[in-house]
Amino acid sequence: MSHSPLTRETVASHNKPSDLWCIIDHKVYDLSDFVDAHPGGSVVLEQVAGTDATTAFYNLHRQEVLEKYSSLCIGTLSGEKPEVIVPKPGDLSPVPYAEPLWLREEGKSPYFKESHRKLQRKIREFVDRYVSPEAMEKEKDGSYISQELIDRMAKNDMLAMRLGPGRHLRGKNLLGVVKGEEFDYLHDLVQAQEFVRANSRGFQDGNMAGMMISLTAVLQWMGNEELKQKVAQEVFSGKKKMCLAITEAFAGSDVAGLRTTATKTPDGKHYIVRGTKKWTTNGMWCDYFVTGCRTDKGFSVLLIPRQDGVETSLIKTSYSTAAGTAFVEFNDVKVPVENLLGEEHKGFIVIMSNFNHERFMMCCAVIRFSRTVVEECLKWCNQRIVFGKKLIEQPAIRQKLAKMISHVEANQAWLEQIAYQMSHMSYAQQSKHLGGPIGLLKSFSTRSAHEIADEAVNIFGGRGLTQTGMGRVVEQFHRTYKFDAILGGTEEILADLGVRQAMKNFPKSML
Ligand code: HEM
């Protein structure tokens, strides 16, 4: 920090490549030692040497660049005040439409009560402080989630919370603001949407998505109570990791086409599992695989611990390898019969039982990520100057934004309504009445994501195709939104499910 008062005149005198200062948002930056390291080159900095470069800077950079390089700042201009809002961990975004309506200062909601608001604040701060920095790093270098973050989440019951409401939360005081017994699907929506704000799609799945879709099967269907408690404790405490291994190269949704076999040993004490699985999220580092197998009279689900004969290799997909997506091979793996989940040959129901929750989580996520893309576009359009005016001043751009905002708000409203219904229905009622609507919402919200990604890239131009800099989030969304359209049931299958379920409940008489 400089000790003498900083004035615009003093800054103007530091206008040479070897002595280069400039002003950004009323703050003075000494760029003399940074000129040669600047990713945008030295020439552009020399062009603004000694001047107020605020407009030029925000036309090309994200605010986070200034936070990263804060050491270059030597002080604030005497008598002036910075105007740019720098968010603190936990803050809501001041950008219109960047938060769902219920979260805005003026926002009311028939659904969200004080405990939802309290939980939202706690999780936002946690994500800003601990999840986002790691997520950005891992998304980039493709390495896996740290044990430190897993431990931190486990300590705060966040792993258990992410399985949704249920008996596993009994007796817990979640983040000190919600009793486990009171945690409903609106709390669930809150936690899911807050975690997505780390804006790292591969890491988002790398952050225990495998556990979210597999441990439920163990809790609900494992017959041996002692083994169930042991495994649940290991996973909720973050000591062991679990994933769901159903899809194969041969078959995805078509379970009848699976080729992994589980054959009982003559003494009836074990199964011998042989086969392969593909696109197993988190498979690279998991200790347990909830695995779909063909048994002699049908389909069965087994909890397979990692052991000799289980091999995992990394599959590179469009998102980061931080998700740990694996090709899994079971080469004559011996599994005790106690590890069977549900009844032998009746495994379909075991797999089906978590579909609604999984898809609901995916809706929460893709709708929240779509909203962030809208926020990015609004910020960019307000910041970017082309043909002498801000992008937002172009009517064609405003049309695009209007469409994107409408998709997000409509989907969020539908999502909240479904979460409310889920909170007031038994598991059986949910299965009967909500499988279709959740399927339709997932299908529709990923179609919306398609529209939003398309418009966002057009708005950002080349930056929407560039993995660093201003368009980073838009580029990533455009590259990865298809994960939500494919995983957990494709758009077509889910749209069809929505209509078929409606027809099942159709009155018998002609209307
Ligand atoms: C404190 C001052 C500055 C810092 C720390 C800084 C840092 C950076 C960084 C990290 C990048 C890489 C892209 C990104 O992450 O956004 C970049 C790119 C760039 N910078 Fe700067 N910069 C500064 C000031 C300026 C100014 C004043 C100008 C121009 C007038 C400028 C022009 C550019 C250009 C043209 C690029 C390439 C951007 C693109 O292709 O989108 N920079 N800068």
**CATH number, residue 49:** 3.10.120.10
Answer yes or no: is pLDDT of 253 > 70: no
Can you tell me the mean pLDDT for 215-243?
97
339 and 365: one domain? Answer: no
Domain boundary among 28, 57, 76: 76
CA distances from 226 to 223, 233, 339 (A): 9, 11, 12
Answer yes or no: is pLDDT of 179 > 70: yes
* Binding site membership of 69 for ligand 1 (Cβ less than 6 Å): yes
413 and 452: one domain? Answer: yes
Ligand 1 pocket mutation pick from 58, 65, 68, 468 by most atoms within 8 angstroms of CB: 65
368 and 483: one domain? Answer: yes
Beta-bridged to residue 425, according to DSSP, are none
Ligand 1 pocket mutation pick from 33, 38, 48, 463 by most atoms within 8 angstroms of CB: 38
> 510 CA distance to ligand 1 centroid (A)?
67
> 56 CA distance to ligand 1 centroid (A)?
9
307 and 234: one domain? Answer: yes
Residue 212 lies in a domain: no
Answer yes or no: is pLDDT of 252 > 90: no
463 and 359: one domain? Answer: yes
Q: Which amino acid residue places its CA nearest to atom 13 of ligand 1?
A: 469
Residue 87 lies in a domain: no
Residue 97 lies in a domain: no
425 and 442: one domain? Answer: yes
405 and 493: one domain? Answer: yes
Residue 46 lies in a domain: yes
Answer yes or no: is pLDDT of 2 > 60: no
Identify whether the C-beta of residue 456 lies closer than 8 Å to the C-beta of residue 478. Answer: yes
What local confidence, expressed as pLDDT, does residue 505 receive? 85
146 and 230: one domain? Answer: no
> 12 CA distance to ligand 1 centroid (A)?
20
Answer yes or no: is pLDDT of 263 > 60: yes
Answer yes or no: is pLDDT of 463 > 90: yes
Q: Which amino acid residue places its CA nearest to atom 34 of ligand 1?
A: 40
Place of tokens 């409408």: 406
* Binding site membership of 38 for ligand 1 (Cβ less than 6 Å): yes
* Binding site membership of 418 for ligand 1 (Cβ less than 6 Å): no
Instruction: Tokens for 10, please give them.
Output: 């003093």
What local confidence, expressed as pLDDT, does residue 5 receive? 86
Domain boundary among 23, 41, 76: 76
> 63 CA distance to ligand 1 centroid (A)?
11
Ligand 1 atom nearest 69 alpha carbon:
5
Ligand 1 atom nearest 463 alpha carbon:
41
Give residue 158's identity as a one-letter amino acid code: M
Separation between Cα atoms, residue 23 and residue 26, nearest integer Å = 6
Answer yes or no: is pLDDT of 59 > 80: yes
> 455 CA distance to ligand 1 centroid (A)?
25
What average pLDDT is seen over the chain? 95
CA distances from 508 to 243, 429, 435, 498 (A): 42, 20, 21, 18
203 and 243: one domain? Answer: no
* Binding site membership of 336 for ligand 1 (Cβ less than 6 Å): no
Residue 219 lies in a domain: no
* Binding site membership of 45 for ligand 1 (Cβ less than 6 Å): yes
Identify whether the C-beta of residue 193 lies closer than 8 Å to the C-beta of residue 224. Answer: no
Provide the CATH number for the domain around residue 239. Answer: 2.40.110.10
* Binding site membership of 68 for ligand 1 (Cβ less than 6 Å): no
Ligand 1 atom nearest 68 alpha carbon:
5
Ligand 1 atom nearest 72 alpha carbon:
1
> 39 CA distance to ligand 1 centroid (A)?
6
Instruction: Catalogue the E-assigned strands of 340-458.
Output: 340-341, 385-386, 389-390
Task: Centre a 10 Å sphere on the Cβ of residue 44 and count the other Cβ atoms it contains.
Answer: 13
Domain boundary among 296, 329, 351: 351
By percentage, how much of the chain surpasses pLDDT 70? 99
Total domains in the chain come to 4
CA distances from 37 to 11, 42, 57, 308, 471 (A): 21, 8, 16, 50, 21
* Binding site membership of 22 for ligand 1 (Cβ less than 6 Å): yes
The predicted model scores a pTM of: 0.93
* Binding site membership of 72 for ligand 1 (Cβ less than 6 Å): yes
Answer yes or no: is pLDDT of 53 > 90: yes
> 77 CA distance to ligand 1 centroid (A)?
21
* Binding site membership of 40 for ligand 1 (Cβ less than 6 Å): yes
Provide the CATH number for the domain around residue 422. Answer: 1.20.140.10
Which is more confidently placed, 251 or 355? 355
Measured over the CA atoms of residue 105, residue 110, residue 114 and residue 120, the dihedral's sign is negative
The DSSP call for residue 200 is -
What local confidence, expressed as pLDDT, does residue 33 receive? 96
Ligand 1 pocket mutation pick from 47, 60, 69 by most atoms within 8 angstroms of CB: 60
Reported ipTM: the value is 0.94
Domain holding 158, by residue range, is: 103-207
Can you tell me the mean pLDDT for 7-31?
97
368 and 473: one domain? Answer: yes
* Binding site membership of 73 for ligand 1 (Cβ less than 6 Å): no
409 and 448: one domain? Answer: yes
Residue 475 lies in a domain: yes
Can you tell me the mean pLDDT for 14-40?
96
* Binding site membership of 289 for ligand 1 (Cβ less than 6 Å): no
> 72 CA distance to ligand 1 centroid (A)?
13
At 3, the pLDDT band (50, 70, 90 cuts) reads low
> 71 CA distance to ligand 1 centroid (A)?
15
Provide the CATH number for the domain around residue 186. Answer: 1.10.540
435 and 341: one domain? Answer: no
Which is more confidently placed, 383 or 119? 119
Residue 215 lies in a domain: no
Rg (CA), the chain: 26
* Binding site membership of 53 for ligand 1 (Cβ less than 6 Å): yes
What local confidence, expressed as pLDDT, does residue 141 receive? 97
Residue 233 lies in a domain: yes
What local confidence, expressed as pLDDT, does residue 4 receive? 73
Place of tokens 């359009």: 381
Q: What is the pLDDT of residues 342-390, one digit of tens each?
A: 999 999 999 988 899 999 999 999 999 999 999 999 999 998 888 889 9
Ligand 1 pocket mutation pick from 61, 74, 385, 474 by most atoms within 8 angstroms of CB: 61
Can you tell me the mean pLDDT for 246-255?
83
